[in-house]
Amino acid sequence: MPLPETTKTITLEAVGSPEFSVTFKRSGAIPFGEINKYEQKLAALGEDASENERTKLFFEDRIVAWDIKTEEGFQHPIPSEDGDVVWRIPLLYVEYISAIISQDSMEDGREETLNLVLKRAIS
């Protein structure tokens, strides 16, 4: 079985900005150690952390590149370089990017792989 693609690039055409793109890490290709570090950071936020704080951390962890500009035409830094950039881009973009990444993680075969691993463990 081939290794999963490590990243995926999308455009923001569906939300009216076809000139903008985002490249993110695909869930099935993230090394276990990186997932563990992300989960530790998430736990450190605490149970009282807002959905906004969780989204910011998610973007910092998953987005590896993007071409999203300000209204003046300046390039926004990626979230891992400036986590607060999440607060400066339109909410529509944040929600769309989050939905696409979440949808992709459900479609990347993780459930099939998990079922296969469990089946092997039981036999």
Express each pLDDT in 16-74 by its tens digit.
999 999 999 998 788 888 888 999 999 999 989 999 999 999 999 999 999 999 999 99
Q: Is residue 2 part of a domain?
A: no
Q: Is 1 among the domain residues?
A: no
DSSP symbols for the chain = -PPPPSEEEEEEGGGTEEEEEEEEE-GGGS-HHHHHHHHHHHHHH-TT--HHHHHHHHHHHHEEEEE-B-TTSPBPPPTTT-GGGGGGS-HHHHHHHHHHHHHHHHHSSHHHHHHHHHHHHH-
Q: Indicate whether 58 belongs to any domain.
A: yes
Domain with 105, as residue range(s), is: 7-122
pTM of the model: 0.80
Does residue 46 fall inside a structural domain?
yes
Q: Based on the structure, what is the number of domains in the chain?
A: 1
- So what's the pLDDT on residue 90? 94
Is 76 part of any domain?
yes
